Amino acid sequence: MNVKPYPLHFRPEFKERVWGGRALERFGFDVPAGAIGEGWMIADHPNGVSHVTNGPLSGQGLDAVREAYGETWFGAKGSHSGNGRFPLLIKLLDCNDDLSVQVHPNDHYAGLPKGELGKTEMWYVLSAKPDAKIIYGLQPGVTRESMAQAIEEGRIMDTLQVVPVEAGDTFYIPAGTVHALCAGVVVAEIQQNSDTTYRLYDYDRPGLDGKPRELHIEDSLNVTAFEGSDATRMKTDGAKPGEWHTLASSPYFRTEKGVVDGAWKLATTPDSFVILIVCEGEGTIGWADGSLQAKSGDCFLLPAPLGEYTLDGNMTVLRSQVP
């Protein structure tokens, strides 16, 4: 079937996590029972695939869309990921409890599972309870040896930086950055299409099956960037309507924040698809052949050959592309 390019909206793949809750219900999703920590909003991975909800491709998984239209729809750069799948994975995370202290490998780590990529990612904080915090990087001067000793002595938290967070904060997390989201935050996550995480510490708590969750101390120490990973953070409350504000720029994605106040005419380019995440507010996405309603929590994939489109309404959005 030869389908003309149009913006794709997806049904998320939800994941129960020991640290999850019910906050993703606020976006109007049909969230399954349990402690739901992750909504895989745009996903093409063996561990989860999101499915189109609108238009001629309704019901098809992103994997099937990739197989049928990938090179044409995803763009000259956006159709190459390193493992043949869609290059990015877009999530919404509900952190009802602290996540494990963790670190991700890069693409070149010898211990990567077969077919997996490394994971560079970023967070945009959608909401945060008062006094919310995250773990973001290491204390100055921490080395592999001093961290290994701290782990052995049960005081790994002494080696980590804990920082306060509030809605609108952005954190860029290159591979090798030790990090952990903590209780009370809901974030949008843009990342390489990978599900590889190495846990350094998990508060000695049981997993959903009642057993202690696996730690990966040696792998974690191997991939941690003790000399620094170029991680960056910023406040984003100065964004003006009709202007893109760059939040993160990596070899894998470039993400910008924009404030929509009325009609904003934009266009895709042949190089890459565009992913739009609506952080707050509501409005529409219009293109030559139609329009879609858009509200907080919605994520859309705009094919590279879509061309001109218009965002209208009152919304805060994130725009991600492959650079």
The full set of domain ranges for the chain reads: 8-234, 244-321
- At 236-295, the pLDDT tens digits run 887 789 999 999 999 999 999 999 999 999 999 999 999 999 999 999 999 999 999 999
- At 179-221, the pLDDT tens digits run 999 999 999 999 999 999 999 999 999 989 999 899 999 999 9
| Whether the predicted pLDDT of 14 surpasses 80 | yes
Binding residues: 104, 121, 179
Report the top-level CATH class of 244-321: mainly beta
Q: Name the residue among 244, 242, 252 with its Cα closest to residue 272.
A: 252
Report the alpha-carbon distance of residue 244 to residue 260 in Å, rounded.
10
Binding residues for Zn(2+): 104, 121, 179
- Tell me what pLDDT residue 1 has: 66
Report the alpha-carbon distance of residue 263 to residue 290 in Å, rounded.
15
CB count, 10 Å around CB of 60? 18
Residue 297 buriedness (CB in 10 A; 0-12 / 13-18 / 19+):
buried
Report the alpha-carbon distance of residue 213 to residue 5 in Å, rounded.
43
Q: What backbone phi and psi angles, to 5 degrees, belong to 61?
A: -75, 155
Just give the CATH number of 8-234.
Answer: 2.60.120.10
- Three-point CA angle 128, 163, 247, nearest 5°: 70
Would 8-234 and 244-321 be classified into the same CATH topology?
yes
Active site residues: 199
* pTM, two decimal places: 0.97
Q: What's the token pair of residue 46?
A: 């063996």
Q: What is the mean pLDDT of residues 137-151?
A: 97
- Tell me what pLDDT residue 318 has: 98
Report the alpha-carbon distance of residue 235 to residue 125 in Å, rounded.
10
Report the alpha-carbon distance of residue 199 to residue 204 in Å, rounded.
12
| Whether the predicted pLDDT of 70 surpasses 90 | no
Report the alpha-carbon distance of residue 284 to residue 282 in Å, rounded.
7
- At 15-31, the pLDDT tens digits run 999 999 999 999 999 99
DSSP string, 30-51: -PPSS-EEEEEEE-EETTEE-E
User: Residue 66 contacts by C-beta under 8 Å, 6 or more apart in sequence?
Assistant: 44, 74, 85, 86
- CA end-to-end distance (rounded Å), the chain: 30
Q: What's the token pair of residue 121?
A: 């990612």
| Whether the predicted pLDDT of 82 surpasses 90 | no
Q: What's the token pair of residue 243?
A: 């202007």
- Three-point CA angle 182, 183, 189, nearest 5°: 60
Share of the chain above pLDDT 70, in %: 100
Q: What is the mean pLDDT of residues 162-177?
A: 97
Contact between 135 and 103 under an 8 Å Cβ cutoff? The reply is no
- Tell me what pLDDT residue 294 has: 98
Share of the chain above pLDDT 90, in %: 93
Are β-strands 13-21 and 36-42 bridged in parallel, bridged antiparallel, or unpaired? Answer: antiparallel
Q: What is the mean pLDDT of residues 136-144?
A: 97
The owner of tokens 């219900």 is: 25
Q: How confident is the model at residue 322 (pLDDT cuts 50, 70, 90)?
A: very high
- Tell me what pLDDT residue 99 has: 97
Are β-strands 101-103 and 160-164 bridged in parallel, bridged antiparallel, or unpaired? Answer: unpaired
Burial 301-318 (b: 16+ CB within 10 A, else e): bbbbbbeebbbbbebbbb
